[in-house]
Amino acid sequence: MLDNQIINIRSEVDNWLQSFNEAISQQKNKDESIKILSNLFFEDSHWRDILALTWKIQTVSGKSKVIENLYNKIMEVYAKSFQIDQQRTLPREVIRAGKNVIEVILRFKTKFGNCEGVVRLFEDQERKGSFKAWSLLTALSDLSSSDKKNIEQYQNIIEGPNWLDKRNEDRLYKNREPEVIVVGSGQAGLSIAARLKQQNIDTLIVDKNERIGDNWRNRYHSLKLHNQTHVNHLPYMPFPSTWPTYIPKDKLAGWFEYYVESMELNAWTNTKFIGAEYYENKKHWKVKLKLSDGTIKIMKPKHIVMAVGVSSVPNRTKIPGLDDYKGEVIHSADYDNGKHYNGKNVLVYGTGTSAHDVAQDLYVHGANVKIVQRSPSMVVNVEPSAQLPYQLYSEGPNTDDCDLITISTPLEVLKKTHQLLTEKTKRIDKPLLDKLTRVGFNLEYGEDNSGWQFKYLTRGGGYYFNVGASDLIADGKIKVLQFSNIVNFSSSGIEMKSGEKFDIDLMVTATGYKGQEYVVDELFGKSVIDKIGPIWGFDDERQELRNMWMQTKQPGLWFHAGSLAQCRIFSKFLALQIKATLDRII
């Protein structure tokens, strides 16, 4: 960017911020302020707040609603001093959702603490030389009340407990209760536990598995992450720069164990969370844990964070007619590898990620594989198409700045962004998609062509990042069958409408996973799920994921899930809310 362009950008941003700060001055009356603000936002503007002004995660759209709500909340929390954050990526011209905008990282203060934000400006075509805001993010960065860690002075202790002695004692919880119990030790559980640890909040992770990382370690043999390493860091400890682009499951599992030790997180493995009951008068839970030796342990935390993931309980829905088949049937969650199926005939039901990966692994091990499609699916080549949504992380800003910019995109703008990306991926992947269509694989691209990420955010699946299975299907090496063309099941296989009969040695049902509501019902009872409502998927009013990373209608119950990047980003805000609740700020 040329120097004069930088000067012009800085000038436009300074002018906008000067007017904005004038509008929110405590000395001005509301009518004056609203009038100034009205000239600073477009009609189709959006404001997303993450705790900074509302103690909620919510998005408001439309200029009149944005201005009214924004002004009132700014006055309530005494927000002030909105300015360019000189320590972060400086204002620059970028393209977002097809628009050329000036993107600015901000900092400001409220009565609760330090805040950060992002505003996107572009020129008003009806008033040349006037730049207005298209979107604004306001997000809490840290609380004024947060404990500051003291610098530990070196002490030459000859006798008495050393660091390891203290750590081992701390893990036992002999004479104290944890303030927070985190259920699950995947990326969700570890990220929130690490954030809470840095807020000096006593936190215990419990996991039913034998080892930390088993939620990845125990998956099928060939699994790797399908997005790139530089996007997936956990809080405070980025992956080494020497790591492979796509992390193998066992390597990630080992890192999770290392992370727990390095971050000094308290974790009990071989520990099953049986259930919990909330005591409203005492403001704590009564939690039942089954320990590794079979004994029942009662603990009384003030908060529980459910970090069991979007896909934790296999959906073992019976496929109509399958009861007539007498051979081996397993769910994809129980699949390890195909080494025992060389030369065998295997049918895989489903065309999501698990189904494709299982089918590919079976083919590599010499099985004769057919995949059954029950409904249309989306296929995206892992490179470059599946990586397009993460381009920001390769643009230059550091991870913290990329995270902030990522969450600054309101839902409507995000949807437009992914519609554009979907059209781009269809063009890039056209040769593969055409071949898939020719062999009878039915394709679709999400609601309103919004693509795979919205499929993930609304239903947790329904797409596949092609790392080879689609090529095998397109080349006829893995045959695709439509479920509607299966006439019936026999004791040994299936019969098609065409009259073809296939003997099958193994059927793998990749029928997905049950929603988190199922887990809540099992562990907390129907009354709790009735109280809090659906989890995941979008709330149309708030334009945010339902019950995620925010206080639910059940006091002391929180949900944390998603990709490694989502868990890294939103663990920060979840920890701040728990801290504020413990400190009785909210």
Cα dist from 415 to 135, 175, 422, 450, whole Å? 14, 50, 10, 6
Q: What is the overall mean pLDDT for the chain?
A: 93
Q: Give Cα 129 to chain centroid, integer Å.
A: 39
**Given the structure tokens 């990420």, which residue do they identify?**
453
Could you list the residue range(s) of the whole structural domain that residue 8 is in?
A: 3-143
Burial of 84 (0-12, 13-18, 19+ CB in 10 A): middle
Give me the pLDDT at residue 320, please. Answer: 84
Q: Are residues 183 and 124 in the same domain?
A: no
Residue 437 lies in a domain: yes
Give 446's pLDDT tier (boundaries 50, 70, 90).
very high
| Residue 409 pLDDT | 95
Tens digit of each residue's pLDDT (9 = 90 or more) over 497-515: 999 999 999 999 988 877 7
Instruction: Give the three-class secondary structure for 85.
Output: coil
The region that residue 356 occupies, defined by phi over 0 for left and psi between -120 and 50 for alpha, beta otherwise, is: alpha
Task: Note whether 505 and 525 are same-domain residues.
Answer: no
Same domain membership, residue 525 and residue 447: no
pLDDT of residue 267 exceeding 80 = yes
265 and 297 share one domain: yes
Over the range 522-540, which residues count as b (16 or more CB within 10 Å of their CB) and which as e? ebbeeebbeebeebbebbe
pLDDT in tens, 310-368: 766 777 877 888 888 999 999 988 898 888 999 999 999 999 999 999 999 999 999 99
Report the C-alpha gap between 567 and 571 in whole angstroms: 6
Q: Are residues 304 and 443 in the same domain?
A: no
Residue 150 lies in a domain: no
User: Are residue 99 and residue 228 in the same domain, yes or no?
Assistant: no
Number of structural domains found in the chain: 3
- Evaluate if residue 2 carries a pLDDT over 50: no
pTM over the 0.85 mark: yes
Element (H, E) at 286: strand 284-290
Q: What is the mean pLDDT of residues 139-151?
A: 76
On whether both 395 and 482 belong to a single domain, the answer is yes
> What residues form DSSP beta bridges with 234?
237
Residue (of 412, 309, 401) closest to 46 by Cα position: 412
Report the distance separating Cα 126 and Cα 143, nearest Å: 41
Same domain, 451 and 543: no
Q: How far is the C-alpha of 94 from the C-alpha of 120, rounded, in Å? A: 9
Highest mean pLDDT among 139-148, 325-334, 371-380: 371-380
Of 143, 164, 195, the last residue of a domain is: 143
- Give pLDDT tens digits for 187-227: 999 999 999 999 999 999 999 999 999 999 988 888 889 88
Instruction: Check which CATH number belongs to the domain holding 92 and give it.
Output: 3.10.450.50
Identity of residue 154? Y
Q: Which of 172-181, 331-340, 477-486 has the lowest mean pLDDT?
A: 331-340
The amino acid that residue 124 corresponds to is: D
Q: How many residues does the chain have?
A: 586
The enclosing H or E element of 217 equals helix 214-217
Contact 189, 213 (CB under 8 A): no
Instruction: Name the CA dihedral angle for 395, 431, 458, 222, rounded to a multiple of 10 degrees.
Output: -80
Contact predicate 541/61, CB 8 Å: no
Q: How confident is the model at residue 150 (pLDDT cuts 50, 70, 90)?
A: low
Give the domain-ending residue among 513, 541, 572: 513
CATH number, residue 341: 3.50.50.60
Same structural domain, 289 and 252: yes
Task: Quickly tell me which residue has 């998603």 as its tokens.
Answer: 562
What single DSSP character describes residue 461?
-
Any domain includes 402: yes
Q: What is the mean pLDDT of residues 239-249?
A: 96
Cα-Cα end-to-end distance for the chain: 45
Query: What does each C-alpha distance from 277 to 85, 174, 320, 480, 559 come to in angstroms?
Result: 45, 22, 38, 48, 17
Q: Flag whether pLDDT at 159 surpasses 90.
A: no
Residue 9 falls within a domain, yes or no? yes
Look at residue 425 and tell me if it is in a domain: yes
The tokens describing 107, both together, are 């900092």
The answer to whether residue 156 is domain-embedded is: no
356 and 501 share a domain?
yes
Asked whether residue 165 is domain-assigned, the answer is: no
| 187 vs 428: CA distance, rounded Å | 32
Look at residue 135 in the predicted model and tell me its pLDDT.
97
Q: Write phi, then psi, for 150 (nearest 5 degrees).
A: -75, 145
Final residue belonging to a domain, choices 143, 163, 187: 143
- What local confidence, expressed as pLDDT, does residue 563 receive? 93
- Bridge partner list, 538: 545
Within-domain flag for 161: no
Tell me the CA distances in angstroms from 256 to 84, 190, 272, 353, one per residue in order.
Answer: 36, 8, 19, 23
Both 220 and 322 in one domain: the answer is no
- 546 neighbors 112 (Cβ within 8 angstroms): no
Q: What is the pLDDT of residue 313?
A: 75
Q: Do 509 and 519 belong to one domain?
A: no
